[in-house]
Amino acid sequence: MQVHVNPQLCQGHNRCYAIAPELFEVDDEGNATELHGGAVPAALEEKARLAVANCPEYAITLTEDS
């Protein structure tokens, strides 16, 4: 599973960072980016889904491994 934050859509609500600090980081301005190239370890898949589902700006996309 992979997550990706679209920097054009992120407005710094920080919901993803609050839910899954293992997967996202925020810069000094509050803009989020994915950690580890977006790779989601199996144990964090549920958190990744929640981060996606709670972003008010629909800025995070999730790609399931095929």
Binding site for another protein (CB under 8 A): 11-15, 17-19, 26-30, 50, 53-57
Cβ nearer to another protein, comparing 49 with 66: 49
- Smallest gap from residue 12 Cβ to another protein (A): 6
- Find the shortest distance in angstroms from Cβ 7 to another protein: 13
Distances (CA, A) of 54 to 16, 18, 22, 66: 7, 10, 16, 24
User: Which among 37, 63, 35, 66 is positioned nearest to 49, based on CA atoms?
Assistant: 63
Q: In terms of CB distance, is 39 or 53 closer to another protein?
A: 53
Instruction: Tell me how far apart the alpha carbons of residues 24 and 12 are, in angstroms, rounded to a whole number.
Output: 12
